């Protein structure tokens, strides 16, 4: 089964720069994939010519702190291109890459990070740059190349558990995004096994195990979405399809709940949004699905009436999950695309519940009953 996962799942959560590993600009402190882009023409900047590398680095750092990434990139790149002997050049390369990534100039960001990147043997900024190269390649949808870089890092037994865990989870994400669903699932499960085996796992970041559980949920969500309810099937077959679809929904929900229990705020918010979305999706399937073609008109009416009872439950469940997700997001101060999606979904589900209640009130009464009859 080959399905491409939406790239948006790799975007910012809780204000992080990215999901492959949040990194801040660098202050002073003591192997590249075969990917080619168009050549970059270096032009002079008359305004910056009068500044030395110290002044450029200080200004670039200030602009980045102020989230003026365009100006930050301008100053850092000036050091990269016109001050080859500067003691700030390696840090300027890294910070220029970060600023360009913030601006979604991924090809230019790749060029800066690649000059530092050493996935096979690098440490410090060379290792961090390798993670960043994988990040921008992912944004450019070069999933295979990104996966190869993080796999190289994950296989380095001399690295600490935190870096290896980060790399292995990201390898699994790249494999799933490439369409290698089964391979990616196994890689993500291996990453969680590795995490569980660490004697000091409570000291490791909860970000990446939570990300692994979220993406396992995504895999089962994809399986769930692949099951269609075909009204041309027999009633028995349609019931079996619905049962299987429900089992896949519960499997996806199980992984999302595990992500929530790990306790990382970003992935907990994303997982809550996804669980609500599953119930909302099932609601859409049931309300829009045609009755089995083998039923007569009376039976179809009864079938639709039974479905209405079930969809009310799904709407209520979705509302509950969305409300709890937003409460959790408010507690941790999260502000990610998933939070906005949850707010919009909650409004939509409440409107649907009101519409269902109104439809029930306006439905004609089929008959009357005497008291006590």
Give pLDDT tens digits for 257-293: 899 889 888 898 888 889 888 888 888 877 777 777 7
Handedness of CA 273, 274, 275, 276 (dihedral sign): positive
CA–CA gap between residue 31 and residue 252 (Å, rounded): 37
Residue 287 structure tokens: 């309300």
**For position 307, what pLDDT does the model report?**
73
Residue 16 structure tokens: 């992080």
Mean pLDDT of 209-220: 97
**For position 13, what pLDDT does the model report?**
31
**Residue 124 pLDDT > 80:** yes
Task: Give SS3 for 136.
Answer: helix
Judge contact between 334 and 266, C-beta under 8 A. Answer: yes
CA–CA gap between residue 215 and residue 195 (Å, rounded): 16
Domain ranges of the chain: 13-23+47-140, 151-199, 206-361
**Residue 353 pLDDT > 60:** yes
**Residue 79 pLDDT > 60:** yes
Mean pLDDT of 162-173: 98
Mean pLDDT of 108-133: 97
**For position 286, what pLDDT does the model report?**
77
**For position 361, what pLDDT does the model report?**
58
Q: Which residue has the tokens 């970003």?
A: 266
**For position 334, what pLDDT does the model report?**
62
HSE, side-chain direction, 13 A CA sphere, residue 96: 26
Q: What percent of the chain has pLDDT over 90?
A: 50
Q: Where are the alpha helices (DSSP H) in 105-160?
A: 106-114, 125-139, 143-154
DSSP 331-364: HHT--SHHHHHHHHHHHHHHHHHHHHHHHHHHSP
Mean pLDDT of 222-239: 85
Judge contact between 31 and 117, C-beta under 8 A. Answer: yes
**For position 335, what pLDDT does the model report?**
61
Give pLDDT tens digits for 316-331: 877 887 787 777 767 7
Mean pLDDT of 339-352: 76
**For position 44, what pLDDT does the model report?**
60
Mean pLDDT of 155-170: 97
Q: Which residues contact 165 (CB under 8 A, 6 or more apart)?
A: 191, 194, 195, 198, 204, 208, 209
**For position 63, what pLDDT does the model report?**
97
**For position 22, what pLDDT does the model report?**
41
Tell me which of 62-71, 155-164, 246-255 is least confident: 246-255
Judge contact between 156 and 198, C-beta under 8 A. Answer: no
CA–CA gap between residue 151 and residue 147 (Å, rounded): 6
**Residue 367 pLDDT > 60:** no
* Torsion angles phi and psi, residue 5, rounded to 5: -80, 140
Mean pLDDT of 341-346: 76
**For position 265, what pLDDT does the model report?**
85
Rounded to a whole number of angstroms, the distance between the first and last alpha carbons of the chain is 57
- Tell me what the pLDDT averaged over the chain comes to: 83
Name the DSSP class of 9. G
Mean pLDDT of 41-62: 86
CA–CA gap between residue 211 and residue 166 (Å, rounded): 10
CATH of domain 13-23+47-140: 1.25.40.10
Mean pLDDT of 331-335: 65
**320 burial class (0-12, 13-18, 19+ CB within 10 angstroms)?**
middle
Judge contact between 153 and 163, C-beta under 8 A. Answer: yes
Mean pLDDT of 292-310: 79
Q: Which residue has the tokens 């939509």?
A: 348
Give pLDDT tens digits for 9-49: 333 333 333 344 444 565 554 444 556 565 555 556 778 99
- 308: number of Cβ within 10 Å: 14
> pLDDT band at 217, cuts 50/70/90?
very high
∠ Cα 348 3 100 (to 5°):
80
């Amino acid at each position: 089964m080959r399905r491409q996962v939406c790239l948006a799942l790799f975007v910012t959560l809780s204000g992080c720069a990215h999901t492959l590993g949040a990194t801040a600009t660098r202050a002073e402190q003591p192997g590249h994939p075969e990917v080619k882009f168009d050549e970059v023409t270096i032009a002079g900047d008359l305004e910056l010519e009068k500044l030395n590398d110290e002044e450029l680095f200080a200004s670039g750092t200030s602009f980045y702190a102020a989230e003026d990434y365009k100006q930050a990139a301008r100053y850092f790149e000036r050091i990269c291109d016109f001050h080859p002997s500067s003691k700030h050049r390696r840090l300027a390369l890294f910070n220029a890459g970060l600023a360009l990534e913030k601006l979604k100039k991924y090809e230019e960001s790749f060029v800066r990070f690649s000059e530092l990147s050493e996935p096979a043997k690098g440490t410090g900024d060379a290792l961090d740059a390798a993670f960043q190269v994988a990040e921008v390649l992912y944004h450019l949808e070069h999933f295979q190349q990104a996966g190869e870089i993080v796999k190289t890092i994950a296989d380095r037994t001399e690295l600490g558990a935190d870096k290896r865990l980060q790399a292995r989870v990201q390898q699994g994400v790249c494999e799933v995004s490439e369409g290698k669903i089964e391979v990616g699932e196994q890689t993500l499960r291996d990453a969680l096994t590795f995490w569980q085996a660490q004697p000091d796992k409570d000291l490791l970041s909860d970000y990446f195990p939570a990300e692994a559980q979220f993406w396992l949920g995504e895999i089962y969500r994809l399986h769930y979405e692949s099951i269609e309810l075909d009204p041309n099937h027999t009633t028995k077959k349609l019931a079996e399809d619905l049962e299987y679809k429900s089992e896949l929904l519960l499997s996806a929900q199980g992984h999302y709940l595990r992500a929530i229990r790990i306790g990382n705020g970003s992935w907990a918010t994303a997982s809550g949004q996804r669980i609500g979305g599953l119930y909302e999706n099932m609601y859409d399937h049931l309300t829009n699905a045609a009755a089995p073609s083998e039923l007569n008109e009376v039976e179809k009416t009864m079938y639709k009436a039974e479905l209405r009872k079930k969809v009310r439950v799904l709407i209520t469940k979705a509302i509950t999950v969305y409300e709890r997700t937003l409460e959790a997001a408010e507690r941790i101060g999260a502000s990610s695309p998933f939070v906005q999606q949850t707010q919009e979904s909650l409004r939509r589900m409440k409107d649907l519940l009101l519409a269902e209640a109104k439809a029930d009130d306006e439905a004609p009464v089929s008959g009357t009953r005497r008291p006590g009859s």
